[in-house]
Amino acid sequence: MNASPTVVVIPGDGIGPEVIDAALKVVRAVLGDELEIVEEQAGYSLWKKRGVTIEDETIERCREADAMLFGACTTPEDPEAKSPIVTLRKELGLYANVRPARSWPVPRPVDTEFDLVIVRENTEGLYTGCECEIHDGVTVALRKISEEGTRRVAEVACDLAEERSGRVTIVHKANVLKLTCGTFKRVAAETVERRGLEWDDEYVDAAAYKLVREPDSFDVILTSNLFGDILSDLAAGLMGSLGLAPSANLGDDAALFEPVHGSAPDIAGKGIANPVAAILSAAMMLDHLGYGEEARIIERAVEEVLREGVRTPDLGGSATTEEVAEAIAERVATG
């Protein structure tokens, strides 16, 4: 690469700074100082200082960066407080949320080996925040599904499917939500067929059941915002912990990578947070930036370290956040 990629790092609140420090330790072990790291603040700590959860200047730096690495933020309960991650998704057009899930060598509730990825529409559905009270005691929320929004996220799912099995499973509830889910299913299917790939579909409740019983029957799952949010946490449970679940938020001109878990304030500062999700998110970021070989090195190191039993308490181990990060970094450094 001719110039060092610029990465905006937002550690956030709770365990965010701990797991992001761990991820950066591993990144430096494989790349040295090749990335230009710019650290920014967002979340509850910033709200307490300045009355905002993310500043306009930070959003602009994110817009100009080659990628973002995000920890976890606590959103204040104040109705005026905006979620920093939701704000970035909307401001930067991060319409596709990509959440891989696979079986790792750790204790987990199912013995089946699986390797799947959930592609979730990230800016529409029920998460647009369009709610109102139509009369006393009755509230409604508007669910937005557009052809354009569906088509562009379906293209991302197709890109992934082309690298994998060539098959996409469209998850919806068109038997009940005939207009909104009907649009999602129709446009998604049209897009997959135009790309020359195979597709099948599942109702979301049946997909949840099948994920538990037969996770290996899925490869690329394409679904809407709320359904994807729920199914990806279910998939994390199948892996054994949210601490193993990375994600990417992708748009046409921006990319943000973050662990799926939240800020977990109850364990912040105790040194027991699982850094693997953040480390794997950083690996996804490196892959996006063109460092595919380095990303694979990190993934292999994570698998080897977990197999050797270096695990945080959420996986039944006794290692600290720092010990897991150091073990992975040492393995990465040796190739």
> Do 315 and 305 touch, CB atoms closer than 8 A?
no
How many whole angstroms separate alpha carbon 324 and alpha carbon 26?
10
pLDDT given at position 174: 97
Low-confidence ranges of the chain (pLDDT < 70): 1-2
Question: What per-residue confidence (pLDDT) applies to 80?
Answer: 83
Sign of the dihedral defined by the CA atoms of residues 108, 111, 115, 116, in that order: negative
pLDDT at residue 1, as a whole number: 46
Matching fold, domains 1-98+242-335 and 109-239: yes
* Catalytic positions, written as ranges: 127, 173, 205, 229, 233
Per-residue confidence (pLDDT) for residue 228, from 0 to 100 = 97
Q: How far, in Å, are 6, 22, 104, 317 from residue 96 at the CA level?
A: 21, 26, 25, 34
Q: Between the CA of residue 47 and those of 40, 75, 273, what are the distances in Å?
A: 14, 9, 24
Q: Where are the domains of the chain?
A: 1-98+242-335, 109-239
Which tokens is 182 given?
């009907």
Task: Provide the pLDDT for residue 109.
Answer: 94
Tell me the CATH architecture of domain 109-239.
3-Layer(aba) Sandwich (3.40)
1-98+242-335 under CATH 3.10.20.30, yes or no: no
Pairing of strands 198-203, 36-39: unpaired
Q: Distance between CA atoms of 14 and 34, rounded to whole angstroms?
A: 28
Distance CA 319, CA 85 (A): 29
Query: What pLDDT is attached to residue 130?
Result: 87
